[in-house]
Amino acid sequence: MTFTYRLLLLCSLVGTVGLTATPMNSKSAHAAASCPTPALSRFQRHQVNRGETLESIAQRYNLRPSTLINMNPSVRNGSVTVGSELQIPPYNGFVVEVPSGQTWRQVAEKYEVRADALFEINGCQQDLRVVFVPGGNVSPSRPITASPPAADSQPISFTGYPLQSAATVSLPYGWQINPTTGEVFFHSGVDLLAPVGSAVQAIAPGTIVFANDQGTYGQLIIINHSGNLQSRYAHLGEIKVSIGQKVNQGDLLGTVGRTGEPTGSQPHLHFEMRSSSGLGWVAEDPKGFLKQ
């Protein structure tokens, strides 16, 4: 099978799989509800107008020209035709067909990207038939992990803890087995056991950017910190802050609750740390940020 034919096949699969809703079974619905919309479902179509070039279209969508060439075999010579349609991916990267039986971690290792980022950018789906691999260099034969943007300011020192006392971790960060469904999934934070009504506090100074209900997260608070870092506090019972409010380390944010769809039956705070990158807010291991 020639490269051009395989590329056309993959692009047609994007049109079939990516631009329509992907059905989920009940087991995958919980994980996917907490994840972004799959990259393959976020492809756009752009009709080439008079005066546009491949470079100008790529610049409009904040992509590299090579990304568009990779996704559109008709422009492999570097020129575009007025009136033709281009498929526009949400990020620099490429679409690959995954051999049967491969796992997310195997695909991530092959293309040298973070497994959790690859999992989330594809909507936490279990179907690995066709996936979008993010990368700065969009050649499948030479993939490169997308690098995070420069920090907007110097990182602050994280010396706080989201609860008033040290708590037992009921579910750690990383790849886990859901105790209810038996499904393997990526846990993007840590679950800290605490009684319902326990005070939840900010671990560092920052600005409240979200304070509302958010699907499986339940009542959720998100704080943006300097240094392109973000902390998240989920399954809250009450929210005591509002969007735009400045908070300091130790300030009361809300209380532990049971809202959303917690993993596990014991009441807990689901806490996450994320860093800003070209792929959005990517989950980090909270262990290095929590000071008991």
Residue ranges per domain, the chain? 3-134, 169-288
For domain 169-288, give the CATH number.
Answer: 2.70.70.10
Q: Identify the pLDDT of residue 32.
A: 39
Q: Identify the pLDDT of residue 149.
A: 36
The one-letter code for the residue type at 18 is G
**In angstroms, how far is the first alpha carbon of the chain from the final one?**
57
Q: Identify the pLDDT of residue 281.
A: 78
Q: Identify the pLDDT of residue 261.
A: 86
Q: Identify the pLDDT of residue 268.
A: 97
The bridge status of strand 130-134 relative to strand 169-171 is: unpaired
Q: Identify the pLDDT of residue 143.
A: 28
Q: Answer yes or no: are the C-beta atoms of 110 and 145 closer than 8 Å.
A: no
Q: Answer yes or no: are the C-beta atoms of 153 and 142 closer than 8 Å.
A: no
Q: Identify the pLDDT of residue 276.
A: 80
Q: Answer yes or no: are the C-beta atoms of 200 and 254 closer than 8 Å.
A: yes
Q: Identify the pLDDT of residue 219.
A: 95
| CATH class of the domain at 3-134 | alpha beta
Q: Concatenate the DSSP letters of all residues of the chain into one string.
A: --HHHHHHHHHHHIIIIITSPPP--HHHHHHHHTSPPPGGGS-EEEEPPTT--HHHHHHHTT--HHHHHHH-GGGTTS---TT-EEEE-SSSEEEEEPPTT--HHHHHHHHT--HHHHHHHTTT-S--SEEEEE-SS--TTS--PPPPPPPSSPPPP----SBSS---EEE-SEEEE-TTT--EEEE-SEEEE--TT-EEE-SS-EEEEEEEE-GGG-EEEEEEETTTEEEEEEEEEEE---TT-EE-TT-EEEEE---S--SSSS-EEEEEEEEEETTEEEEE-GGGT---
pTM of this structure: 0.56
Q: Identify the pLDDT of residue 34.
A: 57
Residues 6+ apart with CB under 8 A from 206: 223, 224, 225, 226, 231, 246, 247
Per the structure block, which two tokens stand in for 52?
Answer: 């546009």
Per the structure block, which two tokens stand in for 149?
Answer: 């943007």
Query: Can you tell me the distance from the alpha carbon of 198 to that of 257, in angstroms, rounded to the nearest whole number?
Result: 8
Considering only the C-alpha atoms of the chain, give the largest distance between any 2 of them, rounded to a whole number of Å. 64
pLDDT (tens digit, 0 to 9) for every residue of the chain, 292 residues total? Answer: 444 444 444 454 444 333 333 333 333 334 434 577 888 888 888 999 998 888 899 989 988 888 888 788 777 677 888 888 888 988 888 888 788 788 888 888 888 888 888 888 888 877 677 888 887 433 333 222 223 333 344 556 788 999 999 999 998 887 776 666 666 677 889 999 999 999 999 999 999 999 999 888 999 999 999 988 999 999 999 999 999 999 999 999 999 999 998 888 899 999 999 988 665 678 888 988 987 6
